[in-house]
A and B are shown apart, each in its own frame.
Chain A
Amino acid sequence: MPNNRENLKTVFTQILEPFALGVLALLFIIPIITVMNLTPLTKQLKKLDVLGVTTQDGVKVTLVGGKHEVFTSENLSKIDEEHYTYSAILNKRASDNYSKPIIELENKNDAEIKLTFLGQTLSNTKSNIFLLVNEKSYRLQDSKGNTYTQEITIQPFEKLTVFLAIENLSGVQFSEEYDMDIKIQDI
């Protein structure tokens, strides 16, 4: 028995040795890669493609996100310094009013900034679509499918939460995509 055990131990150590050599090599390679990886680089902040961090001149546009049974698959994309697009899927729903906070806007300037909003659904579901800001509503699309450009002014250092609201007089049995352009007018 002891002989068998010794033999097994010898075989096991012989199998293990190449792996140990590999681990030893990795102990030298990993720090080199990590050190090279940690070497800092220079990159201008405006080139960072991180939404919601900041834009030029202190206009901050942030997606609120979160879960909602009607508004899903929300996305906020930065096209350029003055142009953003918001998209969401509006799921099938019963006749009712629905709303959800979609975007947070922050004016970090000491001058007021105007933003224009223009959005529409790909198909007409006879829904009224609004933006709600500070208890004021801004109609973006009526039940006939007509769209309206809306302008919202943000005061210096003001922070606003923009809600998207839908009003349905009858139930909608399928999902639809909603796209909205956001343009910064005065910078």
Chain B
Amino acid sequence: MSKLLKRALKISLTPAILMIAGKFLGIMIPSIIYDLEFFVENNIQGLFSIQILFTNPDVTLFINSISNIVMLIILALPTIYFIIKTSIYQSSLQNPRTVVKMTKLNILKWITKQDTTFLQIFIWCTFLIISSAVIIIQSLQNISYQWTGIVAGVVSLFCLWGTVKTFELETDKIYPKENRYY
């Protein structure tokens, strides 16, 4: 088995688990906080076997929107962190000013070792885009608030742009830009 595949499998596990956990916690926590009654129905037929049911359509809409946002935040925060960390790491290699700023902000840890790979950012971003697509579809179907769809779209576009920038930084290592190095 190739190393790339092994690493991809290893990296994919965490966002996959967090995506499910985010959605689940997003349903459970507000239900407990607001003391909302819900039921779980088992449907033997079809792909969607377990259904969480609320008796009020407004409550269903609220809980679904909150759970979507929780899932999005859980996936977006690490992705943004990885993108920023990699960008700063690359910037610090080329620009001493970045190192000074990092020292002032007391986040030198971010640039002492390169433990974030492009593959990691790519996989996290893919999960983020998948979850954003689900949220946008649900917003269009009116089963989630419209603003959740807009937020998901903006966040995923921002992360996609960050991932592309990170990819450019990675390719710069192999094929340095002519105007800078030659």
Q: Mark A98-112, 1 if CB is under 8 A from B, else 0.
A: 000000000000000
Query: CB < 8 Å: which of A27, A35, A44 contacts B71?
Result: A35
Query: CB < 8 Å: which of B6, B9, B16 contacts A31?
Result: B16
With A17-B2, A20-B9, A36-B48 as given contacts, are A42 and B60 in contact (CB-CB < 8 Å)? yes
Say yes or no: is A174 at the interface (Cβ < 8 Å to chain B): no
Q: Mark A15-58, 1 if CB is under 8 A from B, else 0.
A: 01100110110011011111111111111110010000000000
Say yes or no: is A13 at the interface (Cβ < 8 Å to chain B): yes
Q: Mark B107-133, 1 if CB is under 8 A from A, else 0.
A: 000000000000000000011001100
Q: Are B9 and A39 in contact (CB under 8 A)?
A: no
With A28-B126, A45-B55, A48-B53 as given contacts, are A38 and B24 in contact (CB-CB < 8 Å)? yes
Q: Are A44 and B55 in contact (CB under 8 A)?
A: yes
With A24-B9, A35-B71 as given contacts, are A40 and B16 in contact (CB-CB < 8 Å)? no
Chain B 12-52 interface residues, beta-carbon cutoff 8 Å to A: 12-13, 16, 19-20, 23-24, 27, 38-39, 41, 47-52
Chain B 61-105 interface residues, beta-carbon cutoff 8 Å to A: 63-64, 67, 71
Cα distance A40–B67 in the bound complex, in angstroms: 10
Query: CB < 8 Å: which of A21, A34, A41, A45 contacts B51?
Result: A41
CB distance from B7 to the nearest CB of A (A): 11
Give the total number of A-B pairs whose CB atoms are below 8 A apart: 93
Say yes or no: is B150 at the interface (Cβ < 8 Å to chain A): no
Q: Are B67 and A33 in contact (CB under 8 A)?
A: no
Say yes or no: is B56 at the interface (Cβ < 8 Å to chain A): yes
Nearest B residue to A33, CB-CB: B47
Nearest B residue to A21, CB-CB: B5
With A13-B1, A35-B20 as given contacts, are A41 and B55 in contact (CB-CB < 8 Å)? no
Query: CB < 8 Å: which of B47, B49, B53, B71 contacts A40?
Result: B53
Nearest B residue to A12, CB-CB: B1
By CB atoms of chain B within 10 A, which of A13, A23, A27, A35 has the most?
A: A35
Q: Are B55 and A43 in contact (CB under 8 A)?
A: yes
17 contacts between A and B (CB under 8 A): A16-B1, A20-B1, A23-B9, A24-B5, A28-B16, A28-B127, A31-B16, A31-B20, A32-B134, A37-B47, A37-B48, A38-B27, A40-B38, A40-B67, A41-B51, A42-B57, A43-B53
Given contacts A20-B5, A35-B131, 8 further A-B contacts (CB under 8 A): A17-B5, A27-B12, A28-B126, A31-B19, A37-B47, A38-B67, A39-B52, A41-B52
Give A residues with C-beta under 8 Å from B. 13, 16-17, 20-21, 23-24, 27-28, 30-45, 48
Give B residues with C-beta under 8 Å from A. 1-2, 5-6, 8-9, 12-13, 16, 19-20, 23-24, 27, 38-39, 41, 47-57, 60, 63-64, 67, 71, 126-127, 130-131, 134, 138, 143
